[in-house]
Amino acid sequence: MELKYYSLLFSIVGIAVLYVLSLLVQPTVISLQDLPQYEGKQVIVQGTVIKNYQTIYGSHLITLKENHTTATVFVEGSPSFIIEYGDTIQAEGAVQQYEDEWEIVVDDEKHISLLQKWQNVSFPLWQLAGWPERYKDTNVNVTGYVDVIYDTYFYLIDKEEKHSIVVFCASPTYGTLFPGKEVSVAATFIFDECTFRYALDVCKESHGIFFSQEEDR
């Protein structure tokens, strides 16, 4: 009779140990380019948001980019925070292939977390010039100096005057700009098909031009 109770006790202890171990074992953190190696497994990935779409069923499709690799994150439900292009997020879910594309299926919106808002990172112009495809169509915060000013746009240059970029800003509230003024431009980094060059487009409520403490160079 005692043997029966001991067996039951050992079984309960064994189940408890396995449960604790399952809580301690964390999904593997991987790069997006390694997704094919983890089909059917739980992983953690992170990247920059380049697309964010809510379906008619309330789920979210988020496209992440890491270096030159992109992947879709399918989220059941809505994340607890606002996602903008250029944000860096982390997602935990199962890897699967859908229509020849690799994606991460997140069954709980709590497994989506915000690592960094795009406004909190300031890029120099040389970084955008060196890797334009990395930042194309995302929100960026760029520092530089005002150069030539026109009615609806102006040129932003770096301190060494080696790089410049057009900043489109149709709002008349930027009348305080003048050449030589140091600013931070929060805008979408786009490719302008009319001029065949990259540009910054100040076109959303979260965008703007912010002045530095220094008035000029």
Among the candidates 96, 116, 136, a domain finishes at 116
Among the candidates 87, 116, 145, a domain finishes at 116
Judge whether residue 24 has pLDDT over 60: no
DSSP the chain: -HHHHHHHHHHHHHHHHHHHHHHHPPPEE--GGGGGGGTTSEEEEEEEEEEEEE-TTS-EEEEEEETTEEEEEEESS--SS---TT-EEEEEEEEEEETTEEEEEESSGGGEEEEE-GGG-EE-HHHHHH-HHHHTTSEEEEEEEEEEE-SSEEEEE-TTSS-EEEEE---GGGTT--TT-EEEEEEEEEEETTTTEEEEE--STT-EEEE-S-S--
Q: Are residues 49 and 95 in the same domain?
A: yes
Among the candidates 116, 132, 166, a domain finishes at 116
Q: Are residues 95 and 142 in the same domain?
A: no
Q: Are residues 140 and 179 in the same domain?
A: yes
Q: Are residues 111 and 131 in the same domain?
A: no
Domain that holds residue 73: 24-116
> Domain tally for the chain?
2
Pair 77, 91: CB distance under 8 Å: no
pLDDT, tens digit (0-9, with 9 covering 90-100), for 179-197: 899 999 999 999 988 889 9
Can you give the CATH number for the domain in which 201 is found?
A: 2.40.50.140
Q: Are residues 124 and 207 in the same domain?
A: yes
Q: Are residues 69 and 129 in the same domain?
A: no
20 confidence band (pLDDT: 50, 70, 90): very low
pLDDT, tens digit (0-9, with 9 covering 90-100), for 125-180: 999 999 898 888 899 999 999 999 988 899 999 999 999 999 998 765 556 788 89
The answer to whether residue 55 is domain-embedded is yes
Q: What whole-number distance in Å separates Cα of residue 198 and Cα of residue 191? A: 4
Q: Are residues 127 and 178 in the same domain?
A: yes
- By mean pLDDT, which of 16-30, 173-187, 200-214 is the weakest? 16-30
The answer to whether residue 7 is domain-embedded is no
Q: Are residues 106 and 144 in the same domain?
A: no
Q: Are residues 124 and 111 in the same domain?
A: no
The answer to whether residue 19 is domain-embedded is no
Judge whether residue 217 has pLDDT over 70: no
Q: Are residues 157 and 207 in the same domain?
A: yes
The answer to whether residue 10 is domain-embedded is no
Judge whether residue 198 has pLDDT over 90: yes
pLDDT, tens digit (0-9, with 9 covering 90-100), for 48-107: 998 888 888 888 899 999 888 899 999 988 888 888 889 999 999 999 988 888 899 998
Q: Are residues 45 and 88 in the same domain?
A: yes
Provide the pLDDT for residue 23.
43
Q: Are residues 137 and 201 in the same domain?
A: yes
Provide the pLDDT for residue 76.
87
